[in-house]
């Protein structure tokens, strides 16, 4: 329970973005700042954990200063940080900083689950959802359908059996010769392509349950790319392949989500996580779902500090005195429970 107005500093360092934000429980988001490491990892074709940790160390404190200055706040009332899931070294940087600041400011420190951060990011918008709802959480590491009965009450309905959907975007983009991270680049290329050019599989849609599988779709893309290469047509077909892949991935996500919403009689859907920035996904969900669709604005779909500050504000009941740095590479969302009083 939030009893008085609190300014919560949010720190996100789970992967390749350093995100910091200040959220007021009374006034909303006061300031935020983000540093993306995309350029550092691009030459390796993916995130290099050691480089990620070192760059978080370099950028975090200056970003905290910038945010506090922008907001005109000297000392926040609480510090929230991503405690997992994510890269352990990267998480340790955020956790170490949060606990250090908590000690210096003598304020509570709140460990936050990264995916709960994504899930509450739409709360930053005027059109914010109420519970219960169905959440489609789609990022580089996760693909989950969750029946959300209330804040902290998560029933996992389905997840991916192999690759996450963001990973499928990134790997397909790589096959098409696009840089890292491939999702946004593939989506851009798809704008010029014909989504019906290649008949790619919509994995699992005809199966019971709500699980996903994207490795078959990725393999199908690989075969189509190879064939086009052999025929000397890859350059001409690149956009068509991108559009066909995107259409198949989006059909799969939307089909599964609609099934779950119907079965569970949920009339609100939240789309969050990096792939939630995909315009086709947003448009198709809005077109095919008869209930309300909610999502964060583009910049709060991918990793950011604002979502961690909001989740931290909602979890002030779980705040600890600065003492223990928590960093969990794996942390199933459904093990969470509502915050303490």
Site residues, ligand KG4 (CB under 6 A): 15, 139-141, 166, 169-170, 181-184, 187, 273-275, 277-278, 302-303
84 touches, from ligand KG4, Zn ion, none (C-beta below 5 to 8 Å by class): none
CB of 137 to ligand KG4, least distance (A): 9
Q: Which is nearer to ligand KG4, 6 or 60 (CB)?
A: 60
Sign of the CA dihedral running 141, 244, 294, 182: positive
CB of 224 to Zn ion, least distance (A): 29
Dihedral angle, C-alpha 231, 233, 235, 239, nearest 10 °: -110
CB of 166 to ligand KG4, least distance (A): 3
How far apart are alpha carbons 186 and 39 in whole angstroms? 17
The residues, any chain, with a CB within 8 Å of residue 8's CB and separated by 6 or more, are: 22, 23, 24, 25, 76, 77, 78, 79, 80, 110, 309, 312, 313, 316
How far apart are alpha carbons 55 and 35 in whole angstroms? 9
Q: Which is nearer to Zn ion, 33 or 277 (CB)?
A: 277
Q: Do residues 8 and 316 lie in contact, with contact meaning Cβ atoms separated by under 8 Å?
A: yes
146 touches, from ligand KG4, Zn ion, none (C-beta below 5 to 8 Å by class): none
77 touches, from ligand KG4, Zn ion, none (C-beta below 5 to 8 Å by class): none
Q: Is 17 in the site for Zn ion (CB under 5 A)?
A: no
Q: Which is nearer to ligand KG4, 55 or 303 (CB)?
A: 303
Q: Which is nearer to Zn ion, 139 or 143 (CB)?
A: 139
CB of 22 to ligand KG4, least distance (A): 21
- Interface with Zn ion (CB under 5 A), residue from 37, 139, 160, 278: 139
Q: Which is nearer to ligand KG4, 68 or 256 (CB)?
A: 256
Cis upstream peptide for 35 (omega within 30°): no
195 touches, from ligand KG4, Zn ion, none (C-beta below 5 to 8 Å by class): none
CB of 121 to ligand KG4, least distance (A): 10
Q: Which is nearer to ligand KG4, 94 or 181 (CB)?
A: 181
Beta bridge partners of residue 158, listed in sequence order: 145
For Zn ion, the binding residues in 277-336 under the rule CB under 5 A are: 303
Q: Which is nearer to Zn ion, 108 or 111 (CB)?
A: 111
183 touches, from Zn ion, ligand KG4, none (C-beta below 5 to 8 Å by class): ligand KG4
Q: Which is nearer to Zn ion, 117 or 203 (CB)?
A: 117
Beta bridge partners of residue 113, listed in sequence order: 84
CB of 301 to ligand KG4, least distance (A): 7
184 touches, from Zn ion, ligand KG4, none (C-beta below 5 to 8 Å by class): ligand KG4
CB of 212 to ligand KG4, least distance (A): 14
193 touches, from ligand KG4, Zn ion, none (C-beta below 5 to 8 Å by class): none
Size of the site for Zn ion (CB under 5 A): 2
Q: Which chain residues interact with Zn ion by CB under 5 A?
A: 139, 303
């Amino acid at each position: 329970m939030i009893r008085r107005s609190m300014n919560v500093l949010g720190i996100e360092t789970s992967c390749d973005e350093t995100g910091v934000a200040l959220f007021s429980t009374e006034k909303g988001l006061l300031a935020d700042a983000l540093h993306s490491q995309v350029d550092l990892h691009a030459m390796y074709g993916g995130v290099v954990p050691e480089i990620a940790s070192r760059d978080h160390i370099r950028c975090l404190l200056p970003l905290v200063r910038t945010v506090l200055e922008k907001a005109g706040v000297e000392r926040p009332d609480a510090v929230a940080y991503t405690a997992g899931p994510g890269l352990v070294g990267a998480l340790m940087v955020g956790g170490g900083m949060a606990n250090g600041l908590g000690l210096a400011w003598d304020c509570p420190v709140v460990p936050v689950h990264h995916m709960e951060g994504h899930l509450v990011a739409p709360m930053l918008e005027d059109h914010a959802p109420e519970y219960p709802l169905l959440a489609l959480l789609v990022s580089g590491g996760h693909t989950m359908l969750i029946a959300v009965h209330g804040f902290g009450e998560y029933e996992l309905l389905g997840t991916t059996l192999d690759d996450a959907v963001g990973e499928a975007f990134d790997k397909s983009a790589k096959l098409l010769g696009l840089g890292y991270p491939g999702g946004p680049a593939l989506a851009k290329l798809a704008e010029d392509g014909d989504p019906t050019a290649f008949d790619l599989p919509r994995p699992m849609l005809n199966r019971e349950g709500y699980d996903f599988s994207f490795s078959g779709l990725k393999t199908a893309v690989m075969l189509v790319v190879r064939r086009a290469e052999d025929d000397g047509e890859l350059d001409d077909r690149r956009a068509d392949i991108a559009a066909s892949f995107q259409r198949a991935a989006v059909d799969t996500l939307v089909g599964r989500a609609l099934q779950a919403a119907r079965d569970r009689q949920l009339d609100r859907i939240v789309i969050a996580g990096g792939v939630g920035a995909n315009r086709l996904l947003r448009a198709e969900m809005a077109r095919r779902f008869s209930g309300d669709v909610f999502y964060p604005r583009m910049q709060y779909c991918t990793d950011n500090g604002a979502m961690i500050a909001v989740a931290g504000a909602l979890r002030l009941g779980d705040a600890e005195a600065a003492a223990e740095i928590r960093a969990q590479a794996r942390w199933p969302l459904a093990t969470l429970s509502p915050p303490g009083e």
